[in-house]
Amino acid sequence: MLLAFIAVVVGLVLLIWSAEKFIDGAAATSRWLGLSPLLIGMLVIGFGTSAPEMMVSVLAAMQGNPGLAVGNAYGSNIANIGLVLGFIALLAPLAVHSSVIRKEMPLLVVVMLVTGYMLFDGWVSRIEAVLLLVGLVTFVTVSIIRSRGQQDDPLTAEVTESLDSKPMSRGKSIMWTVIGLVLLVASSRLLVWGAVEIAVGFGVSDLIIGLTVVAVGTSLPELASSISALRRNEHDMVLGNVVGSNLFNSMAVVGLAGVIAPIEAGREVLVRDWSVMTFMTLMMVLFAFSWRGRPRRINRLEGGVLFTMFVAYTGYMVSIVVMS
């Protein structure tokens, strides 16, 4: 058991570090390839911050632990909204200017509802997983087309400033992309092994471990990048990180894992985890949109609500482990 705990800690540390290097390298490489800053902010960074979840979930599914995969995806979505967005808004109110992000949020709600329908029978089948991946490809394609006519979006300036703050040569950007990706795979394998061993040792399901320890751990890259964006006063990047990551988690992470092996999701996943995730998503959308002339701003009170919901949910999940 001690070795498993060490594996989880070391795996998480390596995962966070390698994810940061992968994101920086991939963003810089994308710039060298001529991608627009808006597209980098919408897709490359969103994909990069979800890379830990994707690696962990794919490896978990390949090793016969699909519960860990879906737990990681949905738990990370909850952590992204409550821990990342909620905590950042507690530090400083977040102004929302980007029209691109505001258009993506309703899509995120639709994806939540679709996944809820898929979970209704207790399974995410291979066909449903393929549909999620098709939805992701469609989203990426539409984003590429749409980005060509929205270069004046506030997110563009924020991404450009972020890229300028970490200049990289072409060779260095490719090097860090490759190194980050290799270490992501290695640290994910270590983390999955440790998490499964802990689940067995405590006599709880891998779903519970995925929803708690692994989910929070794989959300730390989003927290780190969001704190960095807040320091540069890049509020739209904070919200963009969360929305983009949650879209990739819901479609790519669950989709890839489901294609490898159909995911059995007990009734509690729909009633407990999906419901909390969807409710927090709706709260985020409500707080970020303008209503009756209210400024588009997620204030400290609203951030506190999201953060409190995350703490309450996590506390409940930890109590399940302790009581088991």
Least confident of 2-6, 19-23, 76-80, 269-273: 19-23
The yes-or-no verdict on residue 215 having pLDDT over 90 is: no
Q: At 39, is the pLDDT very low, low, confident or very high (cuts 50, 70, 90)?
A: low
The residue that leads in pLDDT, 153 or 142, is 142
SS3 (DSSP) at 226 = helix
- Give the closest residue to 241 by CA, choosing from 64, 23, 59: 23
Q: What is the pTM of this model?
A: 0.85
The yes-or-no verdict on residue 151 having pLDDT over 70 is: no
Q: Which residue has the tokens 């090793």?
A: 63
Whether residue 262 contacts residue 256, with contact meaning beta carbons closer than 8 Å, is answered with no
Mean pLDDT, rounded, for 257-277? 90
CA dist 38 → 251, 269, 319 (Å): 21, 35, 42
Least confident of 1-5, 18-22, 202-206, 294-298: 294-298
Mean pLDDT, rounded, for 261-276? 90
- What percent of the chain lies above the pLDDT cut of 90? 27
Structural tokens at position 99 = 């029209």
- What pLDDT, on a 0 to 100 scale, did the predictor assign at position 100? 62
Q: Average pLDDT, whole number, for the chain? A: 83
Whether residue 307 contacts residue 108, with contact meaning beta carbons closer than 8 Å, is answered with no
- What pLDDT, on a 0 to 100 scale, did the predictor assign at position 149? 59
- What pLDDT, on a 0 to 100 scale, did the predictor assign at position 183? 85
The residue that leads in pLDDT, 133 or 226, is 133
Least confident of 83-97, 141-155, 217-231, 235-249: 141-155
∠ Cα 36 39 42 (to 5°): 150
The Cα 63–Cα 51 span in angstroms is 18
Give 286's strand partners: none
The Cα 120–Cα 38 span in angstroms is 36
The residue that leads in pLDDT, 278 or 158, is 278
The Cα 211–Cα 310 span in angstroms is 12
The yes-or-no verdict on residue 214 having pLDDT over 90 is: no
- What pLDDT, on a 0 to 100 scale, did the predictor assign at position 158? 64
The yes-or-no verdict on residue 198 having pLDDT over 90 is: no
Q: At 153, is the pLDDT very low, low, confident or very high (cuts 50, 70, 90)?
A: low
Whether residue 184 contacts residue 48, with contact meaning beta carbons closer than 8 Å, is answered with no
Q: At 125, is the pLDDT very low, low, confident or very high (cuts 50, 70, 90)?
A: very high
The yes-or-no verdict on residue 150 having pLDDT over 60 is: no
Query: pLDDT tens digits for 63-96?
Result: 888 788 888 899 999 999 999 999 999 998 888 7
- What percent of the chain lies above the pLDDT cut of 70? 89
The Cα 29–Cα 43 span in angstroms is 13
Whether residue 184 contacts residue 47, with contact meaning beta carbons closer than 8 Å, is answered with no
The residue that leads in pLDDT, 244 or 166, is 244
Q: At 324, is the pLDDT very low, low, confident or very high (cuts 50, 70, 90)?
A: low
The yes-or-no verdict on residue 112 having pLDDT over 70 is: yes
Q: At 156, is the pLDDT very low, low, confident or very high (cuts 50, 70, 90)?
A: low
The Cα 92–Cα 307 span in angstroms is 13
- What pLDDT, on a 0 to 100 scale, did the predictor assign at position 293? 52
Query: pLDDT tens digits for 269-310?
Result: 999 999 999 999 999 998 887 655 555 778 899 999 999 999
SS3 (DSSP) at 294 = coil
The yes-or-no verdict on residue 179 having pLDDT over 70 is: yes
